[in-house]
Structure 1
């Protein structure tokens, strides 16, 4: 069921991007809501679980996640937080570096789900909410005349299967390592959500619209947290 939800979240985002991809403002708003959701899940769910263990150096893995995401952004060029450009010279080819960066990102997210018994945990919900705007941008990037080429379908399939593959392979890892992967992903999430939320506003004025969308994401995440507790 978890694998189905992971794939479905990507497909929903991609097809939204296919039909509404020209609305970049809509994509930005989705990203801001997802950032509010993601940073709340990090601080309320992921980090308490990570720091509940006995390893006093676990914070280094969180920092490692932040640094890893900074390196991945050399490949993705900020694709995860809405920095994308439409096609060059009419070509609709996703750069190989971008594909690799997105795959690694999604693959790592799937590993902490390997031994998950509850379906809709806050962590999984965070991934699903995060997947939709990224997939929206991916769909908008790949579509041509409201259609996807065979190569576009291949790229979408690779991205959709990255997290499920991480989940499946994660079952073969030592369960004691799960907390370290969770810390690593927590650092990745922290970096992505922080960049989206704290990106400079025009003339450094207060952007009430952005604050509103962040608060919406926070409220949705808190609702997920409370639902999970019950």
Structure 2
């Protein structure tokens, strides 16, 4: 189920952008604000408490103490995301800065953007196999990103098959991350460290989305409303999950 949720969100965003061509940037920004709040809430309400609940591994019935505090891995995640954004130019939270020709057109896949975005999406898939709610969080996060990326590439006259290949690959990354977390011995053994790194990544992404100011550096009422709705939905889902 988790595979379908995260994969479908990107493909749906791609199809909406391709056929409906939404042009109102304000609505997409509001959707981004909602997704950031939703993702941050799930991170704080579920992933973070789970990480600090137990500071050591449980592997095959044996407790293997980690000498490095969980907080260090969270900081590594934040720093790693900053490095990724150096190459992606912030595509993970709705900014697309790609080199175009004199006609403002893109004729090839921007590989740095593609690789950094895929690494980001792959890592996000790791904690999902233990929490379906997080799959919804990642899906809600990826949906507006898919719309923004597709719109940009289509408007920049990139070949539609190239755009599809880009978005299809991006859609596959999170399910592949979930698959690796379920079947890779290394991922299972170091699941806490990997989850902590992902928490750092999600912290950075979601907080950046929320606190990126609108025109005039102001939070307007619509944006605040979407953020509150994102928080509330995540809280309701997490409370339902815990019971």
State if a TM-score over 0.5 links the two structures: yes
Match of 1:110 among 120, 125, 131: 125
What does residue 106 of structure 2 align with?
A: 91
1:112–1:179: 8 Å Cα contact kept in structure 2? no
* CA displacement at 1:17 relative to structure 2: 2.1
Q: Comparing 82-91 with 1-10, which one deviates more in the overlay?
A: 82-91
Match of 1:166 among 174, 177, 184: 177
Computing the radius of gyration from Cα coordinates, the structure with the larger value is 2
Are the structure 2 counterparts of residues 91 and 106 from structure 1 closer, same or farther at C-alpha, using a change threshold of 3 Å?
same
What does residue 242 of structure 2 align with?
A: 229
What does residue 211 of structure 1 align with?
A: 224
* CA displacement at 1:206 relative to structure 2: 4.5
Alignment of 1:4-19 (within 5 A): 4-18=4-18, 19=20
TM-score, structure 2 as length reference: 0.84
Are the structure 2 counterparts of residues 92 and 227 from structure 1 closer, same or farther at C-alpha, using a change threshold of 3 Å?
farther
1:10–1:132: 8 Å Cα contact kept in structure 2? yes
Confirm whether residue 178 of structure 1 aligns to residue 184 of structure 2: no
Q: Matched residues in 1 for 2:6 and 2:230: separation? A: 19
* CA displacement at 1:156 relative to structure 2: 1.3
What does residue 64 of structure 1 align with?
A: 76
Are the structure 2 counterparts of residues 177 and 83 from structure 1 closer, same or farther at C-alpha, using a change threshold of 3 Å?
same
Alignment of 1:140-155 (within 5 A): 140-143=151-154, 149-155=160-166
Q: Comparing 197-206 with 129-138, which one deviates more in the overlay?
A: 197-206
Confirm whether residue 29 of structure 1 aligns to residue 30 of structure 2: yes
Give 5+ residue unaligned stretches, structure 2.
57-67
What does residue 45 of structure 2 align with?
A: 44
2:107–2:157: 8 Å Cα contact kept in structure 1? no
TM-score, structure 1 as length reference: 0.88
What does residue 138 of structure 1 align with?
A: 149
**Which portions of structure 1, spanning 4 or more consecutive aligned residues, are displaced by more than 3 angstroms?**
144-148, 200-206
Q: Comparing 143-152 with 161-170, which one deviates more in the overlay?
A: 143-152
Confirm whether residue 220 of structure 1 aligns to residue 233 of structure 2: yes
CA-to-aligned-CA distance 1:119-178 (integer Å, 9 cap, x gap)? xx2222211111111111122123259996221121111101111111222221342311
1:37–1:217: 8 Å Cα contact kept in structure 2? yes
Task: Count matched residues.
Answer: 226
Are the structure 2 counterparts of residues 50 and 141 from structure 1 closer, same or farther at C-alpha, using a change threshold of 3 Å?
same
Q: Matched residues in 2 for 1:205 and 1:91: separation? A: 33
* CA displacement at 1:90 relative to structure 2: 2.2
* CA displacement at 1:226 relative to structure 2: 2.2
Give 5+ residue unaligned stretches, structure 1.
none
1:33–1:214: 8 Å Cα contact kept in structure 2? yes
* CA displacement at 1:200 relative to structure 2: 3.7
* CA displacement at 1:73 relative to structure 2: 0.4
Are the structure 2 counterparts of residues 221 and 70 from structure 1 closer, same or farther at C-alpha, using a change threshold of 3 Å?
same
Are the structure 2 counterparts of residues 200 and 157 from structure 1 closer, same or farther at C-alpha, using a change threshold of 3 Å?
closer
